[in-house]
Amino acid sequence: MLHAAPPHEISHRSRTHAGPDVRVTEVICGEVDSAYFDHAGAGTRSRIPGISVLIKPVLSCDAAARAVLAGAVSGRDTFIAPLMLGVTTALADLPVLSGALRACIDATAWTTTPAEVLAAQAAVRASQQQAAE
């Protein structure tokens, strides 16, 4: 769940460079129950802000695929699933709430340091190599 720019900046850049005959819809899914966290390395799940427990449900792979299809046919610039993620995103755009929401996200994010994540990933790789030998 790393992202280099706010979603609206990414979609704006995509639309700007897509050309006149190309339609771009940004689909933003919350957490997806997939094998991603099994392969992304130890500590990756800890990067998800703790406040995300309010964003329910965690999407199945099928639900995420349906969201992508729904987004493609919606004609909207941005399609967000699940609904609570869309609500949270809309609230974050309100000046009166954006600071408080950002503070909650920051306060509950990165429960491990990047160095701890790298060390955990190295330990997993070492144990996988030992098991393979």
- For the cut 80, the answer to whether the pLDDT of residue 32 exceeds it is yes
pLDDT at 9 > cutoff 50:
yes
Burial of 4 per CB tally in 10 Å (0-12, 13-18, 19+):
exposed
* 112-125 confidence digits (pLDDT tens): 666 776 777 788 78
10 Å Cβ neighbour count for 71?
A: 20
pLDDT score at 114: 65
Which residues, in sequence order, are CB contacts of 71 under 8 Å at separation 6+?
A: 25, 26, 27, 79, 81
Q: Which of 42-46, 52-56, 60-64, 66-70 has the lowest mean pLDDT?
A: 42-46
Give the residue-averaged pLDDT of 93-111: 77
**Are 25 and 71 spatial neighbours (Cβ–Cβ below 8 Å)?**
yes
Range with the lowest mean pLDDT among 12-16, 64-68, 103-107, 121-125?
12-16
Which tokens is 99 given? 């600071």
What does DSSP say about strands 32-33 and 59-60: parallel, antiparallel, or unpaired?
A: parallel
Given pLDDT bands bounded at 50, 70 and 90, which one contains residue 18? low
